[in-house]
Every structure is written in C-alpha cells, then in structure tokens.
Amino acid sequence: MMVTEKRYSWLRLLLKYRGTAMQRIRGRMALTTLLAVVVTVIDLNVRFFHPDLTTIPFTLIGLALSIFLGFRNNTSYDRFWEGRKLWGGLVNTTRTITRQILTLVNAPADRSDESEAVAAFRREMVYRIIGYTHALRLHLRDQDRLEELEPFLAAAEIEALRPELNRPTAILQSAAFRLRDAWQRGWIHSYHLPVLEQSLTVLTDLQGGCERIKSTPIPLSYTSLIHQLVAIYCFALPFGIVKTVGVFTPVVVGIVAYAFYGLDAIGDEIENPFGMDANDLPLSGLSRLIEVNLRQRLGETDLPPLLKPKAGHLT
C-alpha cells in the first residue's frame, strides 16, 4: 500500500501516527523506555549503583552503526524505488505494445474482408496484456485468485494456467504464439514482428526484475547484525548517560531509540515493496491504471474507476 495524502502541512506531519514507523516499533519502544525509567529510578535512589559505561562506547560503536544503518536505509530504498521503476516500465511497455498492436497488425490491402477478424485479434491481444498485468500482480503477492483474470482471458486459457508455476510467463508465451499466427496469416509484416517480439522481451525483463527483488532479501548477516547492534545500543544507553543526564534519561533514550528503531523498521517495511505494508507499492492501483489506459485506447468508454485511497492508503 502507499500512503497518498502527500501534501500534509508541516505541523500535521509532525503529529501523524498512522502509516508511520511508530506503529511498527511501539513494542520495542515501550520495552526500551521502561528499562531507561528503571535504571534512572535506581540511580537516583540507590547510593552505590554505578555501572557507569560513560558515553565513550556509544561514540565508538556509533561509527559502525552509522555505516550499517546508512547502508541498510539506502539498500531498502533502492529496492523500493527499483520496484517502482519496474512497475513504471510496465505502465510504459503495456502502452507501447498496445500502440504497436493497433498499428502494426493490419489486414493486407487486398483482403479487406479480414478487417473484422483483425479488430477482434487486436482486442484479444490488448486484453491479454491487461490480463498479464493482473496476473503479475497476483504472482508477486502470492495470491491464487485466477478468477480475477476472467474478464481478460478466455476460460480455456485461464484453465490452462492453473498448473503453471509461473503464470505471467505462460501468458506471454501464448501472446507470442498468437502474434506468430497473425504473422503467418500476413497480418504482421515480417519486418515488424521483431518489434512486437522486442516488447515481449521487455515485459519478460521487467517481470524478472520484480521476481528478483521479491526472492532475494538483503543478506541475513546484515539484517541480524544491524538488529543486534541497534538493540544493544538502545538497551545499554541508560547505563551510559544516567550519570550525566540524570532525570531526563528516559526522554533522551526514548528519542534516540525512536530514531534508530525507526530507521531499522522503515527498512524492513519497504525492503519487499510488493507486499501489503503501509508504505509498499500500490500494485492494485497501478494495474487498474494500466487496465483503464489500455481499454481507453481500444475506444471503450465503459471503464472501471481508478482506485481511490481508503483512509489515505492505496493498496
């Protein structure tokens, strides 16, 4: 899902809760702050309580932490943004292939009686591309809802998809077979078939890019090391600052922990951008957009509405 009401005023953004990192990290936050309160209370009341770590360890470890968190943050965002680019590429290439189908598939000049068959073929192909988009969305979200493809593909074709491990690829394959049929019937010029074939290759590459992001998390070594360092840092912090900061210790620990847990949690959230987390990509919205764009190119006017965000979130 993507949070869409993007034009918050500065003040409203300060106070926002839903869709922000705080929602995910409240458990850790509570635990950490509680520990800080306990340490502070003991320190203020018990005379000879002095496990004073000083702030030196935090400066030293801060160096490694900043490398880790900076890396973690950039990597997660790159994955999010590459995912977005891939779906942007899908928007572009479905438009391109639609344009190519509408202009490069034609009845030969001397066989105008075939023009209706050609028009039906074009429509079938554009609908197949729409079906491909929805199938890819379902594939990336591990959703087994073949029925969502019914408006776009023939029943037999949908049935044939059932045993397929990779359904979007199977749809592209049948698109390629149909293009070959059209070429063999003389509807597509031999010089122009490679142009359409090239667009299928681009779709294959876009799909593979999405699958790559989905199937390859950031190496576990990183994630575990970062999680551990952040936790150690935050849990040990009260022992390091209570002698200096005194009664404000829980506040300071709370803010620092908020920053670090927050950074870590955002990374977790957008690492797989095709999921259903609050800040993930709105695949449903994008595939609906593609559907409407393409059907409008076929001259249809009875179009479904674009998806609207619900409570500020678009799935």
Residue of 184, 152, 185, 189 whose CA lies nearest to 167: 152
Q: Does 95 bind a second copy (CB under 8 A)?
A: yes
Q: Among residues 145 and 189, whose Cβ is nearest to a second copy? A: 189
Site for a second copy in 237-276 (CB under 8 A): 237, 241, 244-245, 248, 252, 255-256, 258-260, 262-263, 265-266, 269-270
Q: Does 301 bind a second copy (CB under 8 A)?
A: yes
User: What secondary structure, in 3-state letters, does the chain show?
Assistant: CEECCCCCCHHHHHHCCCCCCHHHHHHHHHHHHHHHHHHHHHHHHCCCCCCCCCCHHHHHHHHHHHHHHHHHHHHHHHHHHHHHHHHHHHHHHHHHHHHHHHHHCCCCCCCHHHHHHHHHHHHHHHHHHHHHHHHHHHHHCCCCCHHHHCCCCCHHHHHHHCCCCCHHHHHHHHHHHHHHHHHHCCCCCCCCHHHHHHHHHHHHHHHHHHHHHHHCCCCHHHHHHHHHHHHHHHHHHHHHHHHHHHHHHHHHHHHHHHHHHHHHHHHHHHHCCCCCCCCCCCHHHHHHHHHHHHHHHCCCCCCCCCCCCECCEEC
Site for a second copy in 156-185 (CB under 8 A): 163-166, 169-170, 172-173, 176-177, 179-180, 184
Site for a second copy in 9-28 (CB under 8 A): 10, 13-14, 16, 19-21, 27-28
> What's the CA gap between 61 and 64, in Å, rounded?
5
Of 38-46, 60-68, 121-129, 136-144, which part binds a second copy (CB under 8 A)?
A: 60-68
Instruction: Candidates 37, 223, 307, 309: give the one binding a second copy (CB under 8 A).
Output: 223
Instruction: Candidates 155, 156, 220, 311: give the one binding a second copy (CB under 8 A).
Output: 220
Q: Does 136 bind a second copy (CB under 8 A)?
A: no
Q: Among residues 143 and 244, whose Cβ is nearest to a second copy? A: 244
Site for a second copy in 100-119 (CB under 8 A): 100, 102-104, 106, 109
Q: Does 284 bind a second copy (CB under 8 A)?
A: no
Instruction: Candidates 56, 155, 156, 311: give the one binding a second copy (CB under 8 A).
Output: 56
Instruction: Candidates 191, 302, 308, 311: give the one binding a second copy (CB under 8 A).
Output: 191
Q: Does 99 bind a second copy (CB under 8 A)?
A: yes
Total residues at the site for a second copy (CB under 8 A)? 122
Q: Among residues 100 and 117, whose Cβ is nearest to a second copy? A: 100
Q: Does 305 bind a second copy (CB under 8 A)?
A: no
